[in-house]
């Protein structure tokens, strides 16, 4: 796995990944920038600091697993995997093009390094718990991380999985809710409010950590606390800003699923310089 990075290095990586997200979605002409930009620090912290993995050995059986349950945010995952050297960087600009390994939603058939094909919301937590059960049966200490969207957890299956995870004491799985407060049709509170969210997860038997999802040291502490929590699974409620880092995308529901124009890409890249 990559050597540990300093905070400054991690922040620089985050900025570079944001630039690639904007560029690749701009080049594709479609995609989901808002929820990709909100999750950048979560992925950078996981892949560069928390998770045990090896870009030279992607199928290492003891690797930690990451599932992007909110599959529409795949640009952040693609940009991170490319930065790590798992996948070619130059192909990022072929996002969503015919035959591209970077499909519109994560597709294992095109990108075998992925742990899961996702895109239909609500399924990743169940999958991750299944992998965590296998680890436990095999006496292995790898952990499984599942990134959920906030709108995504309106899906009933997420709560079936939540009930299951606590009942079976699956403490080697960690869910992260990218709580950017916006979904396709508008603000989450206006579409189907999730609040009170912390007591909901607690009521389902999970250890809950609220965290600023853009504060890398806070995320590092939260993931360490999750790993140290035994007997129950942990969920991070990561408060984030949709479209984080690009002024006109921040907190703007429009950029849930609309690509920036070439002019907007220019402005965004200046802001992310």
Partner 1 sequence: MPANTKFALKMGVATRVAFGDALLELARRDDRIVVCDADISKSTMTHKFHQEFPDRFFSCGIAEANMVAIGAGLAAAGKIAFVSSFSCFVLNKGFEQLRVTVAYPELKHFIVVGTHSGISIGEDGPSQMSIEDMALTCALPGFRVLAPADEVAMRALVKEAAYHGNPVFLRAGRPKVPIVYENGGEFSIGGSNTLIDGSDVTLMACGLMVAEAIRAQELLEKDGISARVIDLYSVKPLDRETIARAAEETGALVVAEEHLVDSGLGVRVAQVVSETAPAAMEFVGLTGYAESGPGGGLLDKYGLRAGNIAAAARRAVERKRVG
Binding site for partner 1 (CB under 8 A): 61, 65, 107-109, 115-120, 123, 126-135, 137-138, 156-157, 160-161, 163-164, 167-168
What's the min distance (Å) between Cβ of 138 and partner 1?
Answer: 7
Pick 127 or 241: Cβ nearer partner 1 = 127
- Give me Rg for the CA atoms of the chain: 17
Angle in degrees, 0-180, between the axes of helices 156-167 and 124-137, rounded to the nearest 10: 20
What's the min distance (Å) between Cβ of 272 and partner 1?
Answer: 33
Pick 110 or 248: Cβ nearer partner 1 = 110
Pick 9 or 160: Cβ nearer partner 1 = 160
88: phi then psi, degrees, rounded to nearest 5 = -70, 135
Pick 15 or 232: Cβ nearer partner 1 = 232
What's the min distance (Å) between Cβ of 156 and partner 1?
Answer: 7
What's the min distance (Å) between Cβ of 71 and partner 1?
Answer: 9
What's the min distance (Å) between Cβ of 167 and partner 1?
Answer: 8
Q: Residue 150 in contact with residue 188, Cβ under 8 Å?
A: yes
What's the min distance (Å) between Cβ of 5 and partner 1?
Answer: 28
Instruction: Report d(CA 125, CA 230) in Å as an integer.
Output: 18
- Pairing state between β 186-187 and 234-239: unpaired
How long is the chain? Answer: 273
Pick 68 or 222: Cβ nearer partner 1 = 68
Listed in sequence order, the residues at least 6 apart from 167 whose beta carbon sits closer than 8 Å to its beta carbon are: 205
What's the min distance (Å) between Cβ of 16 and partner 1?
Answer: 29
* Count of C-beta atoms within a 10 Å radius of residue 164: 18
Instruction: Report d(CA 198, CA 184) in Å as an integer.
Output: 23
Q: Residue 148 in contact with residue 158, Cβ under 8 Å?
A: yes
Pick 69 or 100: Cβ nearer partner 1 = 69
Q: Which of 72, 76, 214 is nearest to 151 (CA)?
A: 72
Listed in sequence order, the residues at least 6 apart from 107 whose beta carbon sits closer than 8 Å to its beta carbon are: 114, 117, 119
Pick 67 or 211: Cβ nearer partner 1 = 67
Angle at 97 between CA 29 and CA 64, to 5 degrees: 100
Pick 137 or 273: Cβ nearer partner 1 = 137
What's the min distance (Å) between Cβ of 145 and partner 1?
Answer: 13
| Longest CA pairwise span in the chain (Å) | 53
């Amino acid at each position: 796995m990559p050597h540990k990075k300093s905070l400054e290095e991690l922040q620089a990586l985050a900025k570079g990944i944001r630039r690639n997200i904007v560029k690749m979605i701009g080049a594709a002409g479609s995609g989901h920038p808002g929820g990709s930009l909100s999750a950048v620090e979560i992925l950078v912290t996981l892949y560069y600091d928390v998770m045990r993995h090896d870009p030279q050995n992607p199928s290492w059986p003891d690797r930690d697993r990451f599932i992007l349950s909110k599959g529409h945010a795949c640009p952040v995952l693609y940009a991170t995997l490319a930065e790590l050297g798992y996948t070619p960087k130059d192909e990022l600009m072929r996002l969503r093009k015919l035959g591209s390994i970077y499909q519109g939603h994560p597709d294992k058939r095109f990108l075998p390094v992925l742990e899961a094909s996702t895109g239909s919301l609500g399924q990743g937590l169940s999958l991750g718990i299944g992998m965590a059960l296998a680890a436990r049966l095999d006496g292995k200490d790898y952990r499984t991380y599942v990134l959920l969207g906030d709108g995504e957890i309106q899906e009933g299956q997420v709560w079936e999985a939540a009930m299951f995870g606590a009942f079976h004491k699956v403490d080697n799985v960690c869910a992260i809710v990218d709580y950017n407060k916006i979904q396709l049709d508008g603000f989450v509170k206006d579409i189907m409010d999730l609040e009170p969210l912390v007591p909901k997860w607690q009521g389902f038997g999970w250890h809950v950590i609220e965290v600023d999802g853009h504060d890398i040291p806070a995320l590092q502490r939260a993931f360490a606390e999750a790993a140290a929590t035994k007997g129950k699974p942990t969920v991070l409620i990561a408060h984030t800003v949709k479209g984080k880092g690009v002024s006109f995308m921040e907190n703007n529901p429009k950029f849930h699923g609309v690509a920036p124009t070439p002019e907007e890409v220019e402005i965004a890249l200046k802001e992310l310089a």
